[in-house]
């Protein structure tokens, strides 16, 4: 299969090389735009005795490599990168259909969140940011050993495991360029972690502390990328929080690049930044108020006011950015009909400022490691009633936002309920998936309220936060839920 990508790292297999498969059980566009995967690939292929090839769900159904079409079952080790809980279904399918019998290692944010549903399906789990540590991981696996961050499946859930934090003083230089989520571009990872404290967000917890890369280093990497691309994507949980975001974007534009940030916060946008983003080729501004009412935004600790949102939209319009995409969540604890209606009102105000508005509505997943982890899915204790209410809210929003002229996309309540179950689940959940026997109604118990004094399956993962502080944060939030 011909693949339209520039791959300066690809290696040819020869006798004696050990084969390592890098499996992304989701679509190519997401996988190629993931700098973590690019790191792993480059690091393994730089080793003399190893070759790494990639597998994506939508290329040969994940059972043959992109580079050479070699079947997965011919590889010695398979590293699975699990970015989303729903990918468990695809990962299991890939393992089964490929008849892979080598060593299976799972890593990525889902492992850092809660790997318990996967313990009967993988041999090893890696906790943390693997860039710079891939060689140790591979060598330990081969010897049947563990490292501080690489743990055998049978020992998961016992003693505490510390999560590795990578050193950001260097940056990946040689990358594969394919047609990914940001288009054909070079990825510049400007930072990791986030300095904000949104109460629903797992990123700020599992990638803490917030770290930024030096502008000089990023510009050097961009200089080297000039011969391959005319576009760079700036990647971080909150790109425009970089202390020198404007300087970086302005310099990249001066070098002749189009610039695409992976995320911007509405409250960081001012005239100068929006003008720069527009000059950098941004055609659509994505902002995430998450809630329509000030009360719900306080609960989510989003730190974005209605004024910030309207200011961002009017600056976008002024600088020729004609489309605004807005993200909202529903099913929040204590959410009233007025709070849901406030989403429609806010979108309506934005719609009066910019020609095109698209809205994405997602139910809240009370993620492990966040202060909302004890809350029930759907926002109320009676889970069935919560599911019903969620569906009604989504229906209402689709209808009302459509009337206001916004285009609306909304995931089903069921798919987010499944995400919640997988993120909170244990072996029993994983077994049902492996046996092709997973039914949402069998696992409703995982969607309910969690008692605050309960030991949680993911308590063994040490992200560096203290559970008692998380509980205090939750207590403060509870005063807003009524
Ligand atoms: S700004 Fe974004 S990444 Fe940062 S804590 Fe909030 S939701 Fe998470």
Check residue 343 and give its pLDDT. Answer: 98
Report the pLDDT averaged over residues 177-184. Answer: 94
Domain boundaries, the chain: 18-162, 182-263, 282-478
Q: What's the mean pLDDT when you consider all of the chain?
A: 96
Contact by Cβ (8 Å): 178, 3: yes
CA distance 3 to 59: 10
Mean pLDDT throughout 311-340? Answer: 97
* Of 411 and 338, the one with more pLDDT: 338
- CB-count exposure of residue 58 (10 Å: 0-12, 13-18, 19+): middle
Question: Tell me, what's the pLDDT at 481?
Answer: 84
Residue 146 exposed, middle or buried by CB count within 10 Å (0-12, 13-18, 19+): middle
CATH superfamily label, 18-162: Response regulator (3.40.50.2300)
Average pLDDT over residues 256-267: 95
pLDDT of residue 8: 87
Judge if the beta carbon of residue 264 lies within 6 A of ligand 1: no
Which residue's CA lies nearest to atom 8 of ligand 1?
A: 201
Is 282-478 the same fold as 182-263? yes
237 C-beta closer than 6 A to ligand 1: yes
* Atom in ligand 1 nearest the alpha carbon of residue 201: 8
Residue 215 phi, psi dihedral angles, 5° rounding: -60, -40
Q: Is 164 in the pocket of ligand 1 (CB under 6 A)?
A: no
pLDDT score of 130 more than 90: yes
The confidence band for 1, taking pLDDT boundaries of 50, 70 and 90, is low
- pLDDT above 70: residue 287: yes
Q: Quote ipTM for the complex.
A: 0.99
CB 141 within 8 A of CB 151: no
Give the fold, CATH level 3, of 282-478: Transcription Regulator spoIIAA (3.30.750)
Does residue 204 have its Cβ closer than 6 Å to ligand 1? yes
pLDDT above 90 for 155:
yes
Tokens representing residue 207 in the block:
């990638």
Q: Does residue 214 carry a pLDDT above 70? A: yes
The whole-number average pLDDT for the span 362-370 is 98
Paired with 356 in beta bridges are 323
Nearest CA residue ID for atom 3, ligand 1: 237
pLDDT value at 3 more than 70: no
- Ligand 1 binding pocket includes 232 (Cβ within 6 Å): no
How remote is the CA of residue 50 from the centroid of ligand 1, in Å?
37
The correct answer on CATH 3.30.750.210 for the domain covering 182-263 is yes
Q: pLDDT, tens digit, for every residue of 90-119? A: 999 999 999 999 999 999 999 999 999 999
Mutate to test the pocket of ligand 1, among 191, 204, 205, 328 (most ligand atoms within 8 A of CB): 204
Q: pLDDT tens digits, residue range 396-421?
A: 999 999 999 999 999 899 999 999 99
Please work out whether the CB of residue 196 comes within 6 Å of at least one atom of ligand 1: yes
Q: Is 316 in the pocket of ligand 1 (CB under 6 A)?
A: no
Confidence label for 26 from pLDDT (cuts 50, 70 and 90)? very high
């Amino acid at each position: 299969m011909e693949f339209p990508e520039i791959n300066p790292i690809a290696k040819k297999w020869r006798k004696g090389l050990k084969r390592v498969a890098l499996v992304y059980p989701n679509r190519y566009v997401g996988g190629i735009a993931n700098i973590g995967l690019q790191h792993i690939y480059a690091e393994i292929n730089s080793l003399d005795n190893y070759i790494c090839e990639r597998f994506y769900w939508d290329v040969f159904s994940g059972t043959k490599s992109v580079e050479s079409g070699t079947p997965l079952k011919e590889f010695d080790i398979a590293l699975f990168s699990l970015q989303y809980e729903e990918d468990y279904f695809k990962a299991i399918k890939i393992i089964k259909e490929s008849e892979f019998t080598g060593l299976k290692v799972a890593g990525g944010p889902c492992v850092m969140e809660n790997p318990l549903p996967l313990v009967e399906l993988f041999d090893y789990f890696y906790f943390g940011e693997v860039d710079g540590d891939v060689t140790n991981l591979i060598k330990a696996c081969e010897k049947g050993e563990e490292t501080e961050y690489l743990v055998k499946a049978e020992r998961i859930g016992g003693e505490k495991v510390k999560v590795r934090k990578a050193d950001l003083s260097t940056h990946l230089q040689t990358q594969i360029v394919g047609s990914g989520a940001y288009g054909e571009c070079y990825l510049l990872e400007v930072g990791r972690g986030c300095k904000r404290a949104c109460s629903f967000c797992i990123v700020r917890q599992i990638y803490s502390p917030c770290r930024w890369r030096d502008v000089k280093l990023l510009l050097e990497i961009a200089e080297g990328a000039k011969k391959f691309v005319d576009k760079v994507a700036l990647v971080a949980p909150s790109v425009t929080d970089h202390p020198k975001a404007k300087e970086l974007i302005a310099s990249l534009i001066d070098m002749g690049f189009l610039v695409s940030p992976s995320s911007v916060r509405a409250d960081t946008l001012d005239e100068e930044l929006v003008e720069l983003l527009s000059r950098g080729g941004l055609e659509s501004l994505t902002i995430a108020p998450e809630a329509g009412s000030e009360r719900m935004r306080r609960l989510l600790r989003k730190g974005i006011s209605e004024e910030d949102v309207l200011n961002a939209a009017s600056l976008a319009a002024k600088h020729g950015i004609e489309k605004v995409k807005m993200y909202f969540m529903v099913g929040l604890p204590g959410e009233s009909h007025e709070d849901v209606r406030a989403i429609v009102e806010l979108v309506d105000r934005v719609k009066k400022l910019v020609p095109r508005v698209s809205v994405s509505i997602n139910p809240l997943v009370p993620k492990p490691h966040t202060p909302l982890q004890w809350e029930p899915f759907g926002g109320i204790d009676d889970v069935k009633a919560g599911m019903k209410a969620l569906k009604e809210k989504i229906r209402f929003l689709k209808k009302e936002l459509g009337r206001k002229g916004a285009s609306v996309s909304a995931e089903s309540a069921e798919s987010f309920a499944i995400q919640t179950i997988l993120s909170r689940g244990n072996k029993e959940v994983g077994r049902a998936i492996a046996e092709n026997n997973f039914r949402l109604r069998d696992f409703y118990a995982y969607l309910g309220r969690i008692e605050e004094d309960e030991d949680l399956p993911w308590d063994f993962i040490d992200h560096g936060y203290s559970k008692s502080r998380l509980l205090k944060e939750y207590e403060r939030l509870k005063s807003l839920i009524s």
